[in-house]
Amino acid sequence: MDQLLAFTITEPLLGQSAVCEPILRALPDWFGIEEATRQYVREIEILPTLLALYEDRVLGFLTLKQHSPYAAEICVMGVLQLAHRRGIGRALVAQAEVVLRAQGVEFFQVKTLAPTYPDPGYARTRAFYEAQGFRPLEILPTLWGAENPCLVMIKFLGALPES
């Protein structure tokens, strides 16, 4: 793959599970729990998903879940390992933020594996989210079961103008 990767980010699209599932399946160190992966596939199908494209190839995706007029979440995201560290994840998050700010969303959260469960892959994931401006908010020790402590990370996207 070229050093300089001329990828593009799509607008949020519905019905993208068929092109995103192979990315989840190619990242077993992060998405190794079959039941959780199937749930992500179901959610990707019905939730708005931004794709990172290189020519016709999908290299990565980010699926959004909106919880209220003010708050949204990265439901799941992934980039093929051969394309890591080329700015694709950063571009997906940045484009998602453009979309959310335009809708008036103020708070952006993501849930990931907490550092209380040592895992080198997820340590890199948390470093990525921190680099995008997300900050650790709270650990939910049992949300995903005691063996998968959940860390909630949050980013303030900016307040709406006073009406």
Ligand X SMILES: CC(C)(COP(=O)(O)OP(=O)(O)OC[C@H]1O[C@@H](n2cnc3c(N)ncnc32)[C@H](O)[C@@H]1OP(=O)(O)O)[C@@H](O)C(=O)NCCC(=O)NCCS
The footprint of ligand X (CB under 6 A) covers: 27, 30, 76-79, 84-90, 112, 124-125, 127-128, 131
Q: Which is nearer to ligand X, 51 or 77 (CB)?
A: 77
Which residue number is nearest to ligand X in terms of Cβ? 89
> Measured from the CB of residue 11, what is the shortest distance to ligand X in angstroms?
19
Q: 126-129: long-range contacts (C-beta < 8 A, 24 or more apart)?
A: 126/151, 126/153, 128/89, 129/153
Query: Position 10: which residue type?
Result: T
Q: Which is nearer to ligand X, 10 or 160 (CB)?
A: 10
Token readout for 135 is 């900050």
The total number of residues shown for the chain amounts to 163
Q: Contact 93/130 with Cβ under 8 angstroms? A: no
Q: Which is nearer to ligand X, 20 or 77 (CB)?
A: 77
> Measured from the CB of residue 137, what is the shortest distance to ligand X in angstroms?
15
Helix (H, G, I), strand (E, B) or coil at 154: strand
> Measured from the CB of residue 94, what is the shortest distance to ligand X in angstroms?
9
> Measured from the CB of residue 24, what is the shortest distance to ligand X in angstroms?
9
Q: How many helices (H) and strands (E) does the chain have?
A: 4, 7
Q: Which is nearer to ligand X, 38 or 124 (CB)?
A: 124
Place of tokens 């995008």: 132
> Measured from the CB of residue 86, what is the shortest distance to ligand X in angstroms?
5
Q: Which is nearer to ligand X, 6 or 159 (CB)?
A: 6
Q: Contact 156/105 with Cβ under 8 angstroms? A: no
